[in-house]
Amino acid sequence: MIKTAIVGASGYTGLELVKLISNHPEASLEAVTSNSYQGKSFTDIFPSMRGFESLICTSFDAKALSGKVDVVFLALPHKVSMAFAPELIDQGIKVIDLSADFRFDDAKAYEAVYQPHTALNLLEESVYGLCELNREQIRNARIIGNPGCYPTSILMPLVPLLKEKLIFPQGLISDSKSGVSGAGRSLSLTTHFCEVNESFGPYKVGNHRHTPEINEVLTKAAGETVSLTFVPHLVPVIRGMVSTIYAQICEGVDEKQIRNALNKWYKNEPFIRILPPDKFPNMSHIKGTNCCDIGFYLEAESGRLILVSAIDNLLKGAAGQAVQNMNIMFSIDEKAGLDWVQTPL
């Protein structure tokens, strides 16, 4: 039994982690912490979580967790994570961080969009937790930077095609769409029901903080500098993410080569589903699962490749991938706790 704690459990990612660990056959939940809801029960925080009345949020105390847990999930805002992680590592506790603090290889890239990094050694040591692509390094990691939701949806289809030299690294575009839970549970006009329902539009055009995270991984995959054009949009649904990605194929590449490459990389991956020709991903197909669906269409005349990926932003895009990372780190079945048939309609 893997003993876990969830730090910052009162947000939507924290909620998903609590549910996933509660359903997990080989992990137990030893503690949940929340700054704003200290002393409150989980049912008080989330009325839908009836049955969790005795799960009480405490304050964060790395020493108190020492010896009690094997791994801690940090579901905290950027900056707070890098203050907490070192103490946990010092206690011999593994860390899976869901903020941006440990996702970058290049501290300068992080600092350009966030703030000065205060745990540079750990940043250097940390592994980017894109499970299917970095599995071997994850296996031995003490600290994981769990990928952002947008990066996951964009990197899954693009990395193999760049590595296999089937598409040009230049001119890539991702037109991405996210459900509202991606904005978190904190209050803002942008998540007010009357402002979101029956609406749709782009936001943060030209300056979303996920862009450098994506570019760092794409650049490594391509072996040359990649600068993706990224436009996120908000969809009036609770959960789900779709990225429609436009790329130019390299000379002579055909549909079959694209399909072969994706199959080669993902055929045996339990959570990656390459859709048959003429089928395309949809938020409703992956909602409530840890899957990433990928479909594509090649415009023969123009050489334009249209890739579409879909994930549940809270699962494969956050809590689900975090648990998958835990499964890899502790050498148990990677699908444990993640392989039910989805419940929503």
Task: Considering the candidates 131, 149, 291, 292, report the single residue annotated as catalytic.
Answer: 149
* The only residue of 71, 143, 156, 196 in contact with its own copies, by rule CB under 8 A: 196
Query: Could you give phi then psi for residue 161, rounded to 5 degrees?
Result: -70, -30
Q: What is d(CA 55, CA 40) in angstroms, rounded to the nearest whole number?
A: 8
* The only residue of 54, 140, 268, 302 in contact with its own copies, by rule CB under 8 A: 302
* The only residue of 287, 316, 326, 328 in contact with its own copies, by rule CB under 8 A: 287
* The only residue of 109, 237, 250, 336 in contact with its own copies, by rule CB under 8 A: 237
Using a 10 angstrom Cβ sphere, with 0-12 exposed, 13-18 middle and 19 or more buried, the burial of residue 227 is middle
Q: Does 253 contact its own copies by CB under 8 A? A: no
**144 contact partners, CB below 8 Å, separation of at least 6:** 95, 96, 97, 102, 126, 127, 128, 129, 138, 322, 325, 329
Facing residues of 231 across strands? Answer: 175
* The only residue of 37, 114, 297, 330 in contact with its own copies, by rule CB under 8 A: 297
Q: What is d(CA 123, CA 99) in angstroms, rounded to the nearest whole number?
A: 12
Q: Does 1 contact its own copies by CB under 8 A? A: no
Residue 284, token pair as written in the block:
């409703």
DSSP state of 169: S
Nearer to its own copies, 23 or 118 (CB): 23
Q: Does 14 contact its own copies by CB under 8 A? A: no
Q: Does 217 contact its own copies by CB under 8 A? A: no
Provide, rounded to whole angstroms, the least separation between the CB of residue 102 and its own copies: 26
Q: Does 25 contact its own copies by CB under 8 A? A: no
Q: Does 181 contact its own copies by CB under 8 A? A: yes
Nearer to its own copies, 64 or 109 (CB): 109
The footprint of its own copies on this chain (CB under 8 A) covers a number of residues equal to: 77
Q: Does 187 contact its own copies by CB under 8 A? A: yes
Instruction: Please choose, from the candidates 122, 160, 113, 161, the residue with its C-alpha nearest in 3D space to the C-alpha of residue 143.
Output: 122
Nearer to its own copies, 20 or 123 (CB): 20
Q: Which amino acid makes up residue 238? A: I
* The only residue of 240, 261, 316, 318 in contact with its own copies, by rule CB under 8 A: 240
Provide, rounded to whole angstroms, the least separation between the CB of residue 260 and its own copies: 20
Q: Does 114 contact its own copies by CB under 8 A? A: no
Provide, rounded to whole angstroms, the least separation between the CB of residue 340 and its own copies: 5
Q: Does 244 contact its own copies by CB under 8 A? A: yes
> Of 47-66, which residues contact its own copies (CB under 8 A)?
47-48, 50-51
Instruction: Please choose, from the candidates 17, 45, 47, the residue with its C-alpha nearest in 3D space to the C-alpha of residue 31.
Output: 17
Edge-to-edge strands of the sheet including 272-274? 201-202, 229-234, 173-178, 241-248, 304-311, 292-299, 272-274
Q: Does 279 contact its own copies by CB under 8 A? A: yes
* Strand spans (E) along 94-172: 94-97, 127-128, 143-145
Q: Which are the catalytic amino acids?
A: 149
